[in-house]
Every structure is written in C-alpha cells, then in structure tokens.
Amino acid sequence: MPAIELWPDILKADLETKRERLRQALDESGVPLPADRDLEDQLPRVFAFSDFVADSCIRDPLLLSQLWSSGDLRQPPASGALREQLKSVLQDTNDIRDLAARLRRFRRRELVRIAWRDLMGSADLAATTSDLSDLAEACLDQALGWLYGRQCAEQGTPTAADGTPMGLVVLALGKLGARELNFSSDIDLIFAFPGEGETRGADRSVEHGEFFSRLCRQLIHVIGHPGGEGFVFRVDLRLRPFGDNGPLALSFDAMERYYQEQGRDWERYAWIKARAVAGDEHAGQALLKRLHPFVYRRYLDFGAFESLRAMKHM
C-alpha cells in the first residue's frame, strides 16, 4: 500500500475528517487510545478503506481500545472461542430485547475485528470467510440456547419417548453451509426437530411442532429483525420444504418424507452444502445421514443431467 502522502487528495481529506471525528470522540469519552506505533500505522489505512470500521470506532472508542489491547486485531481467535465469549456476554441477559441488543453489539465488535485483519492482510480470504461463518454460528447457537431455556421454563421441555430432552436442529445451506460467508451475505437456514410429541414439566403441555415453531419465530426475530444497530444477520428461509408456504420447522420423519416424495433436483444440490450449525448438532448429523440417499443418488439418469444443464443456463 503506498504511503499516505501519495494518496489522492480526496482520500486524504476524507481520512483527516475521520481522524478529527475520532479525536473528538476520544476526548468526549475519556477513553485513551493505546500508545502503539503499529496502531498509529494501521489505523489510517483501515479508516481510509472502511467507513464501517471508522464509524464503529468513532461511535464507540472503547471498542477500538479494547480490540487493540486484547491482541484480537493481531491474531485469530482459538477454535470455539467466539461461542464462549458470546456465552459470557449473554450470561445475565434480562429479556429478548436485551438479548438482541447484546448480539448486535457483539456482532459489530467482531465485524470490526474481522474487517481490520482483512484490510491489513493479516487474514486471507479463506480465514476471513471462515471467521464470518464462525461468528454467524456463534450468534445462532448462543441465541438459540438462551431462547430455548426461557421457552422450556414457560411451556415445558420437548422430550423423546425415552425421556431424553429434545432440541432444535439449525441447518445452514448456501454460503454459511459451505463456510464461505462474506460481509454482505444472508444466511440460508432450515429448522428441524427429531420427533413429534408433547412437552413435559409445565402446567400446560404443547405439541412439539407448536413449541419449535414458536422458538424458530423468536430466533428469526432476534437474529434477523433490524434494530438500533441493524440486524445480526439477514435470515433466508426460502430453501425449506414447501418454501414460504411451509412450516418453519418439521420433524425428521416429515422432512425425510418430503424429500422422498417431492424433493426437486435444485433442492438436492442445495443440500450438498448443508451443515448442522446450532442447537442439537448431534441430532443434526443423524438427520443429514437420513437424507444422504436423497442428496447423493446412487444412480443418475438423463433427467438428472438435463436438470444440471438447465440450472447452468438460469
């Protein structure tokens, strides 16, 4: 990257405006910026090429100070670290509104971290898309865990015939399923639960389908509804069985029956990227195994080849 002195005047003027806004924000907040030569060198380059990072740091100078002091801008998080960090952030959450607000703040922090490392060349494309995918999975899993516990307290716990508690399975397709999420991607999700039945442990039990449909609606609202800081992630549910006309969540039996009887070729190809990313991931692996014969046909015919050709020309 060329020296700042060699940048076009319009870029240098924009950078100076951002620097002045940051100085004012630091003065007003009383937050000291770490005295570090590397930070002084990197900050103007990142600010110049990302309005999002600049605006986020100006809006919350403590965010920049903490990210740099923690070392998170210099090294990637350890495997599973994001889920643990978010679990700690959500520990004393009061209600759904508070949950959504904390998720959005966490997302903003992590997007600044990921974008900074991307712009400075500290992370290549594969690492950046992997980081973004990990962030989406952490937000889905921890939000779902909080909502599930709250709903079980109100409506009882979904339970299998042997008395084992039953959880929701969140499956990702598309870019998230392939761990190729980018900064502007939405997340393609499908929800499922292991079996039918009724909840236990509450004054009034409800059917599993009703329980999990309500849980899905709450999760979609928390993750995908725009608030004061935007949404956590845009959610797309159109790939689920029956599309927009279908239920939000289906039992494993109902899902297997749908794909056996009505599954189309494009759905088969979409499921190649499917992964269980949140909730009961062990049960999710069992569902993927059940759907394996649909996704990976043993035999191909001319119809399959024609379908592929048609998709390539769409």
Give the type of residue at 202.
Answer: A
The pTM of the full predicted model, rounded to 2 decimals, is 0.91
Split into its structural domains, the chain has a count of 2
| pLDDT at 302 (0 to 100) | 55
Residue 308 CB burial class (10 angstroms; 0-12, 13-18, ≥19): middle
| pLDDT at 311 (0 to 100) | 58
Residue 84 and residue 66 share a domain: no
117-156 burial: b if 16+ Cβ within 10 Å, else e: bbbbeebeeeebbbbbbbbbbbbbbbbbbbbbebbbeebb
Residue 131 and residue 198 share a domain: yes
Q: Which residues contact 150 (CB under 8 A, 6 or more apart)?
A: none
Q: Which two tokens stand for residue 154?
A: 């109100």
The last residue of a domain, from among 70, 88, 121: 70
Residue 245 and residue 106 share a domain: yes
Residue 158 and residue 133 share a domain: yes
Per the DSSP assignment, residues forming a β-bridge with 190 are 171
pLDDT in tens, the chain (314 residues): 567 777 888 998 999 999 999 999 999 999 988 888 999 999 999 999 999 999 999 999 999 999 999 999 998 888 889 999 999 999 999 899 999 999 999 999 999 999 999 999 999 999 999 999 999 999 999 999 999 999 999 999 999 999 999 999 999 999 999 999 999 999 999 999 999 999 999 888 999 999 999 999 999 999 999 877 889 999 999 999 999 999 999 999 999 999 999 999 899 999 999 999 999 999 999 999 999 999 997 766 656 656 656 656 65
| pLDDT at 297 (0 to 100) | 77
Residue 85 and residue 53 share a domain: no
Long-range contacts of 173-176 (CB under 8 A, 24+ apart): 173/239, 173/270, 173/271, 173/273, 173/274, 174/236, 174/239, 174/270, 174/273, 175/129, 175/133, 176/133, 176/136, 176/137, 176/275, 176/277
| pLDDT at 4 (0 to 100) | 78
Tokens 């992964």 correspond to: 275
| pLDDT at 77 (0 to 100) | 87
Q: Map residue 15 onto helix, strand or coil.
A: helix
| pLDDT at 304 (0 to 100) | 60
CATH number at residue 125: 3.30.460.10
Per the DSSP assignment, residues forming a β-bridge with 172 are 189, 275
Cα 226–chain centre separation: 14
Residue 86 and residue 18 share a domain: no
Residue 87 and residue 183 share a domain: yes
Q: Are strands 235-236 and 169-173 parallel, antiparallel or unpaired?
A: unpaired
The last residue of a domain, from among 70, 96, 131: 70
Residue 195 and residue 51 share a domain: no
Q: Which two tokens stand for residue 10?
A: 């319009």
Domain extent, residue 7, equals 1-70
Residue 84 and residue 62 share a domain: no
Helix or strand run (H / E) with residue 42: helix 37-49
- Would residue 42 count as lying in a domain? yes
- Would residue 75 count as lying in a domain? no
